[in-house]
Amino acid sequence: MTRASLDKQPADVAAMFDGTAERYDLLNMLMTGGLDRRWRRQVVRAVAAAPGERILDLAAGTGTSSVPFAEAGADTVACDFSLGMLRVGVRRHGRGRPAGVEGLSFVAGDALRLPFADGSFDAVTISFGLRNVADTGRALRELRRVARPGGRLLVCEVSHPPNTLLALGHKTHLRYGLPLLARVSSNPDSYRYLAESTLAWPDQAALARLIQDAGWGSVRWRDLTFGVAAMHHAVNPG
């Protein structure tokens, strides 16, 4: 498997996720001790998708995060640049399948050049994918471009606990706990890359500034699980 590095070359990152597609949801559960499911439920409540709305779920992977928006009655687009992830998602959730979800479609796309018209979506969201993009600011500007005026942004991403002791424990888990998982994993490079990218990711306030610099307004955030992750909200001022 290609070893993605922190320069986040798109081909390397895509190849890595292609190789983890079948076990991606399991990988997330193991990395977070099952907390990812709780965080995703909070994302669903925060996005508050409504019937008739159009939602973009970027870096959607296999579409697990997209399903609740479609089930709420929103026209939902699960977008990812890993074709391997999308193939698994279509097989699990695609229309016409036994477990298919109405209102959910899968689209291949690059976060830096989204294949959608300006103002296409009422809400745009990305969960645990923004740190894998080569240019964070450009991706945030692209998300703003495809959001309608007044459209909502929700970013859920790993973060840094503000408490010193918790931060130390979190870093210890990333530096030593995940490498132990990597030893028994069939995809050890995935664990190493995800640990490294988490440690290198900006804290809550720094990410809020990046979102504001991309033109979003009303930027705020809420810590999840003492700041191990965080949800950032914003609105497209038009």
Which residues are part of a known binding site for S-adenosyl-L-methionine?
62, 80, 110-111, 127
Task: Indicate the burial class of 169 (C-beta count within 10 angstroms; 0-12, 13-18, 19 or more).
Answer: middle
Give the torsion sign (CA, 85, 77, 5, 153): negative
The annotated binding site is made up of 62, 80, 110-111, 127
Strands 147-158 and 54-58, by their bridges, are unpaired
Q: How many CB atoms lie within 10 A of CB 17?
A: 27
Q: Taking a C-beta distance cutoff of 8 angstroms, is the pair 119, 148 a contact?
A: yes
Strands 229-235 and 217-224: antiparallel
Whole-angstrom Cα distance, residue 93 to residue 65? 11
Radius of gyration of the chain (CA): 17
Name the residue with tokens 């664990």. Answer: 191
Q: Residues near 6 by Cβ (< 8 Å), separated by ≥ 6?
A: 196, 197, 200
Question: If you search the block for the tokens 């720094």, which residue do you land on?
Answer: 206
Give CA–CA dist 22/90, Å, rounded.
Answer: 12
